[in-house]
Amino acid sequence: MRNEVLIYDRNKESIGFLRNFFHGNDCYSPTFVKDKQSLFNRLTRKTPAALIVGSPAELEKIRHSNTGCPVIAMVSGDINGGIRSAVKCNTECYLISPFHKEDFEYKLKTTISKKGFLETIHGEKKDLETVLELIHLISSTLDPKEVLYFVVSKIAEIINVTRCSIVSIPFEEKRHAYVISTFEDPKIANIKLDLKKYPEIRKSLSTRKTVVIRDALKDPLLKEVRHIIAPLGIRSIVVIPIIFRDEVIGTLILRTSRSNHTFTEREIRLCTAIASSSANLIYNAFLHEKVENEKSQFEKLAITDYLTGLYNVRYFYNRIDGEISRAQRYKLQLSCLMIDIDHFKKINDNYGHRAGDVVLTEFAQLLKKHTRKSDVLARYGGEEFIVLLPQTSPQAAVSKAEALRNFIKKHKFRGIQGKSGLTVSIGISSYPVHAIKNKEDIITLADNALYKAKADGRNIVVLYNSHM
């Protein structure tokens, strides 16, 4: 890689010397500028490896405007002129006329090497500060998801990548992974990845080593998935394994779309240090997510009928109190359907209890399909179901019930070998038409209406009235 050298000098002797020196030299890329404005424009756009300046007057001009690149002064041997000015302006070194090639080459190499060394030291210092900052944050009591998002965001900020994600690998399976944090969106979590489509992750998991893809369009590792990667514009990829207690629990994935960007060793070292520091947090976040999922499932089981997946009576009783209170407070209508599958015992007797369970499960799904999200569905017991219809008049409830009854009559249930002819009886009560004060009233009146439907021959819908 050629070092860019910017030259601001109007002395014919030094310019001639410099042109002869750089001619045919593949180590440097010299750029001569003739005026102060051109110099400042160049310095603003990009910092060169070195800046060569001529006379004391020119040194004074750039004294307060240099962006940090090292300066080599081309001066005369006059101590009161060029040398003093060079020292005064804090130049890295100076070359005294008459100029010698070997002397200049040594000073140029030394100056550029020193700059690179100091930049490396400064960069390593910043990296260490970043890691210490993240370690402090990780050890805090903040929410793990928030911290992980901060980690990926910090990496993306420092390295300037297109995508940066932390992926967890469940202990019990190695075929899938889950994106638990990405800087693109703090709300993104638990996106499932099929590891068949991510050979770079699979390799990192199997080797327990960092995988570096310099060119995603040419690397043989990605041959089978190149048709997926190419449209995304991804060019370089780094996958760093995250190891906790000698177990690979996830990976840190970096992607960039810039064709001229390849990840440096320093960037990889920094990300490896961050990954190692984050291992415990990722492990805890994974366990926390697992506990939360189990808790959520337990809570769902506590309010769900084991067979049909509908709510159980316990949950229905809790909900109905709130719905009645809301209807009373805002003067809204509320209806209740009590549904019974007619002659269900015959299904069990003719086809067996397993077939009966299939019918109940299928019926529950049909019930979900023909109700709104705001409606509350529950298995009341055996072959009886109950539905609460918020903001529904008696007439609308009857219409919905009739539509459901007709659909069930025509439907062919798998559990009874695709035969139709299954029917339901439905009783309806409604607030405030019927003098309902509490959940016992609305359920009792709907049950009375259902009893009437069954007494009148079944396969009908009955709306409660005071004469029952």
Q: Would you list the domain boundaries of the chain? A: 3-119, 140-291, 313-463
- Superfamily of domain 313-463 in CATH is Reverse transcriptase/Diguanylate cyclase domain (3.30.70.270)
Q: Euclidean distance between the first and final Cα of the chain, in Å?
A: 96
- Name the band, by pLDDT with cuts 50, 70 and 90, for residue 130: low
pLDDT at 59: 63
- C-alpha span between 146 and 336 (Å, rounded): 44
Does residue 402 carry a pLDDT above 90? yes
Residue entry with tokens 């997926």: 228
Q: What is the CATH number of domain 140-291?
A: 3.30.450.40
Tell me what the mean pLDDT of segment 176-201 comes to.
83
pLDDT at 172: 62
pLDDT at 78: 61
Q: Is the dihedral of CA 401, 405, 411, 416 positive or negative?
A: positive
Tell me what the mean pLDDT of segment 248-273 comes to.
81
> What is the tens place of the pLDDT at every residue in 281-321?
667 766 666 666 667 677 777 889 989 999 999 899 989 98
- Name the band, by pLDDT with cuts 50, 70 and 90, for residue 246: confident
∠ CA 187-190-192, nearest 5°, is: 130
Does residue 219 carry a pLDDT above 70? yes
Q: Tokens in use for 216? A: 């995603």
pTM for this one?
0.47
Q: Tokens in use for 410? A: 């025509």
> What is the tens place of the pLDDT at every residue in 74-106?
776 665 556 666 666 667 677 777 888 888 888
pLDDT at 209: 93
- C-alpha span between 328 and 334 (Å, rounded): 9
- Which of 127, 201, 120 has the alpha carbon at shortest distance from 157? 127
Asked whether the bond before 432 is cis by omega within 30 degrees of 0, the reply is: yes
- C-alpha span between 8 and 34 (Å, rounded): 6
For residue 171, the tally of other CB atoms under 10 A from its CB is 10
Q: How far is CA 435 from CA 142, 430, 440, in A?
A: 53, 9, 12
Of the candidate ranges 98-107, 200-209, 311-320, 332-341, the one whose mean pLDDT is the lowest: 98-107
Does residue 177 carry a pLDDT above 70? yes
- Superfamily of domain 3-119 in CATH is Response regulator (3.40.50.2300)
- C-alpha span between 218 and 205 (Å, rounded): 22
Tell me what the mean pLDDT of segment 161-181 comes to.
81
What does the buried/exposed string (b/e) look like for 20-39 if buried means 16 or more CB atoms within 10 Å of the residue's CB?
ebbeeeeebebeebeeeeeb
- C-alpha span between 468 and 465 (Å, rounded): 6
Q: Tokens in use for 431? A: 């607030």
Tell me what the mean pLDDT of segment 231-254 comes to.
87
pLDDT at 235: 87
- Which of 307, 170, 174 has the alpha carbon at shortest distance from 249? 170
Compute the mean pLDDT over every residue in the chain, rounded to the nearest whole number.
83
